Structure 1
Amino acid sequence: MEESNLSSRNLKDNEDELLYYRNVETGQKIARKRTKKMQNEIVSEIYYVPEYEKRVFNEDYVKEFSLDKFGEAIPYVDGEITILNNYFYDFWGYFLKAEGTSLYGHLKRYAYGTKDWCWPNIELISLKMDKSQNTIRNLLDLLERYGFIYKFNVTNKSRENVEESPVYKIRKQVPLLTQKLIEGDPSLSIGTDDPPHIKKAKKKEQTGLPERLKTEHKKFVNKMLDQSKNVNILDAMEYELIYSDILSKGAIQKLYSDKHQKIKETTHPKTVTMSEKESNLTDSVKEILKSRLSKPSFETWFSSFYIKLHDNLCVILVTDEFYRDWIHSRYLKVLLEILHELGEDIQNIDVRVIQ
């Protein structure tokens, strides 16, 4: 009986049915409405955003997926405490920076023992590291770029598909740098649309390690060889191809319905009058949602809404029925928790369309 109960528990150590997924752009655009202030009115307008689809993975696949299958690991033993080999600080530190190495240490700490996954509290880690949550997200991008982590977004099917914190698969063994990272890859292109932190990373990848670190790395390799250790420096690791292959194994689910895409451009302007408290509360709720939801989820459902307060009732105003129905069915509990965190004595939430 105990074994049966244990096997039925998910990666977050409960018995809820979780849905693990990644968001992937389809290459199509969808129409959305947003509102902006023009003089004393809130005016709606149409704009277009990329269409995403979910690549969904089952529990067994995520459990079995391991980043340690890729690349060449440095020769050392990982025990029951958080161990990070000197190699990680000496050479990966150049690409990940001090903050990235620190963040990996935090994540690896949560993936204790034989576990290779965790679902960290990003807000708490940002406090521990004294870095903004946006900086933490950028560092997570870098760690995934170099194959140290891989993120699976999570929705809870047992709780009306509410969004939960992501699960991160963690590489347990530190990989050796590839030849291209050591010597540099001048042919690597830097896209104009690449985020600033990725552009900086690519500039380092173009030139490789500084000369002194190259010399130190060669000493490390020679030392390992002298100790009869097997050291195999790979030419390159194409993690984008590896991740693309992973995504191809996920079941496809569209994030948007046809109803959502068919927004007429003849939308009439709508106005919302808010008190200063309601305006500030709207901004505060948006900031918290932005930190807790995936970027596509936030931009799709919460980039444009307004809050009105009526005693113990909070009214969430949105631009059409589709947003109203979606938020009402999936996010009421999340919104109520956030309002309570902000000190609001709200007992009920109603989602309505701006009239």
Structure 2
Amino acid sequence: MSEVNLKGNTDELVYYRQQTTGNKIARKRIKKGKEEVYYVAETEEKIWTEEQIKNFSLDKFGTHIPYIEGHYTILNNYFFDFWGYFLGAEGIALYAHLTRYAYGSKDFCFPSLQTIAKKMDKTPVTVRGYLKLLERYGFIWKVNVRNKTKDNTEESPIFKIRRKVPLLSEELLNGNPNIEIPDDEEAHVKKALKKEKEGLPKVLKKEHDEFVKKMMDESETINIPEALQYDTMYEDILSKGEIRKEIKKQIPNPTTSFESISMTTEEEKVDSTLKSEMQNRVSKPSFDTWFKNTKIKIENKNCLLLVPSEFAFEWIKKRYLETIKTVLEEAGYVFEKIELRKVQ
């Protein structure tokens, strides 16, 4: 009986990599109707025996992290193999990050989205967009948090996390041509909706059929739902919520002197960038209360955020100044100092 190779069969395999020799090879091509000579790197094959490949270990290099129980995040292969097509690499990564914080038996977490955005090398706006996609498919559910003990300060939201990976529905597997894609929908959500219309690609559909057959052969019960009822998924929890009016903090309206302060074109651009990003980072009531009436002034390479009251000055300084600095830095603005100034 022939020996089994690294891929689990008895075929004779050659293990190799292409590498450059350092030489150049002249070749000819027709460009714009004329023959010309160009050069490409000469390559050769480097071949190894199967035993050499078996004995090579990447773990021999560098200092490894010691094994500590609980320092692992485990996701089902089904999630990668099939849900990954609809969620995309960013959606997969974001769910993994959120799951990493829902350790042990917890099914919720409350991480800093700014930190996760840094880890993913994405903007907070992009991360929030993929949160919307994860919620659409029932992998997370976001609930905002306000701290009554600290004068109703907005805190990081809590995310309920789905721990068990659901099967794709028949509609996701086979497509639903009746899905409508709103023109004003976010780009990555539009992309996912387009995929929903078309269904799982044939090569993945074949793998999915094989997966289902294997599960049934192992006496597992597989009931593929006809469709995921996105609108009814959260009905129970939403029906239990209590409606309350928005909580607004009372601060003085801007004075006439404050309103008369003008901004240059450059200052208006910085002001617009800051307000646009802060709208994505805080709730609408918080934005309207603390940022709607601010102005930007630039003096001697310093950025000054003008606020209309002592109350607003103290609140923004304590809770939002570092976020403001981060927003302007991420937007590419370079200032020696970023400070608050009260103007009444």
- Give the TM-score range, shorter chain: 0.5 to 0.7
Aligned partner of 1:213 in structure 2 is 204
Aligned partner of 1:305 in structure 2 is 294
1:111 aligns with 2:102: yes
Judged with a 3 Å threshold, the aligned counterparts in structure 2 of structure 1 residues 239 and 351 are, in CA distance, closer, same or farther, namely farther
Judged with a 3 Å threshold, the aligned counterparts in structure 2 of structure 1 residues 345 and 207 are, in CA distance, closer, same or farther, namely closer
Decide whether the 8 Å contact of 1:305 with 1:316 is kept in 2.
Answer: yes
Judged with a 3 Å threshold, the aligned counterparts in structure 2 of structure 1 residues 179 and 144 are, in CA distance, closer, same or farther, namely same
Judged with a 3 Å threshold, the aligned counterparts in structure 2 of structure 1 residues 315 and 292 are, in CA distance, closer, same or farther, namely closer
Q: Quote the Cα distance in structure 1 between the aligned partners of 2:130 and 2:172.
A: 18
Decide whether the 8 Å contact of 2:247 with 2:285 is kept in 1.
Answer: no
Decide whether the 8 Å contact of 1:278 with 1:309 is kept in 2.
Answer: yes
Q: Which residue of the other structure, out of 126, 145, 150, is the alignment partner of 2:117?
A: 126
Aligned partner of 1:151 in structure 2 is 142
Q: Quote the Cα distance in structure 2 between the aligned partners of 1:279 and 1:185.
A: 46
Tell me, what secondary structure is at the counterpart of 2:320? helix
Q: Quote the Cα distance in structure 1 between the aligned partners of 2:315 and 2:71.
A: 39
Judged with a 3 Å threshold, the aligned counterparts in structure 2 of structure 1 residues 167 and 271 are, in CA distance, closer, same or farther, namely same
Aligned partner of 1:255 in structure 2 is 246
Give 1:227's aligned amino acid.
E
Deviation at 1:325, TM superposition (A): 9.9
Q: Quote the Cα distance in structure 1 between the aligned partners of 2:269 and 2:183.
A: 35
Give 1:153's aligned amino acid.
N
278-287 or 201-210, which deviates more: 278-287
Aligned partner of 2:319 in structure 1 is 334
Greater length-normalized contact order (CA 8 Å, ≥ 6 residues apart): 1
1:272 aligns with 2:272: no
Q: Quote the Cα distance in structure 1 between the aligned partners of 2:169 and 2:298.
A: 57
Deviation at 1:248, TM superposition (A): 2.7
Decide whether the 8 Å contact of 1:308 with 1:317 is kept in 2.
Answer: no
Judged with a 3 Å threshold, the aligned counterparts in structure 2 of structure 1 residues 210 and 284 are, in CA distance, closer, same or farther, namely closer
Deviation at 1:305, TM superposition (A): 2.3
Aligned partner of 1:82 in structure 2 is 73
* 1:144-202 alpha-carbon deviations (Å, 9 max, x no partner): 10000111111111111111111111111111111111111112222233333222211
Aligned partner of 1:321 in structure 2 is none
Tell me, what secondary structure is at the counterpart of 1:252? coil
Q: Quote the Cα distance in structure 1 between the aligned partners of 2:178 and 2:305.
A: 54
Deviation at 1:351, TM superposition (A): 6.9
Judged with a 3 Å threshold, the aligned counterparts in structure 2 of structure 1 residues 339 and 202 are, in CA distance, closer, same or farther, namely closer
Q: Normalising by structure 1, report the TM-score.
A: 0.62
Deviation at 1:290, TM superposition (A): 3.9
Judged with a 3 Å threshold, the aligned counterparts in structure 2 of structure 1 residues 242 and 339 are, in CA distance, closer, same or farther, namely closer
* 1:303-326 alpha-carbon deviations (Å, 9 max, x no partner): 45214699xxx77446xxxxx699
Aligned partner of 1:187 in structure 2 is 178
Decide whether the 8 Å contact of 2:290 with 2:316 is kept in 1.
Answer: no
Q: Quote the Cα distance in structure 2 between the aligned partners of 1:118 and 1:351.
A: 40
Q: Quote the Cα distance in structure 1 between the aligned partners of 2:234 and 2:311.
A: 30
Deviation at 1:118, TM superposition (A): 1.1
Give 1:247's aligned amino acid.
L
Judged with a 3 Å threshold, the aligned counterparts in structure 2 of structure 1 residues 112 and 178 are, in CA distance, closer, same or farther, namely same
Decide whether the 8 Å contact of 1:151 with 1:167 is kept in 2.
Answer: yes
Q: Which residue of the other structure, out of 281, 293, 299, is the alignment partner of 1:292?
A: 281
Q: Normalising by structure 2, report the TM-score.
A: 0.63
Decide whether the 8 Å contact of 2:295 with 2:306 is kept in 1.
Answer: yes
Tell me, what secondary structure is at the counterpart of 1:177? coil
Deviation at 1:273, TM superposition (A): 2.7
Decide whether the 8 Å contact of 2:91 with 2:130 is kept in 1.
Answer: yes
95-104 or 333-342, which deviates more: 333-342
Seq. identity, %: 47
Decide whether the 8 Å contact of 2:113 with 2:127 is kept in 1.
Answer: yes
Deviation at 1:104, TM superposition (A): 0.8
User: Gaps (5+ residues) in structure 2?
Assistant: 1-69, 330-335
Give 1:333's aligned amino acid.
K
Judged with a 3 Å threshold, the aligned counterparts in structure 2 of structure 1 residues 296 and 161 are, in CA distance, closer, same or farther, namely closer
Q: Which residue of the other structure, out of 93, 105, 110, is the alignment partner of 1:102?
A: 93
Aligned partner of 1:25 in structure 2 is none
Aligned partner of 2:192 in structure 1 is 201
Decide whether the 8 Å contact of 1:146 with 1:239 is kept in 2.
Answer: yes
Q: Quote the Cα distance in structure 2 between the aligned partners of 1:237 and 1:327.
A: 46
Q: Quote the Cα distance in structure 1 between the aligned partners of 2:203 and 2:178.
A: 23
Judged with a 3 Å threshold, the aligned counterparts in structure 2 of structure 1 residues 295 and 139 are, in CA distance, closer, same or farther, namely farther
1:246 aligns with 2:223: no
281-290 or 178-187, which deviates more: 281-290
User: Gaps (5+ residues) in structure 1?
Assistant: 1-78, 261-266, 319-323
Deviation at 1:350, TM superposition (A): 3.9
Q: Quote the Cα distance in structure 1 between the aligned partners of 2:280 and 2:132.
A: 15
Tell me, what secondary structure is at the counterpart of 2:181? coil
Deviation at 1:333, TM superposition (A): 2.4
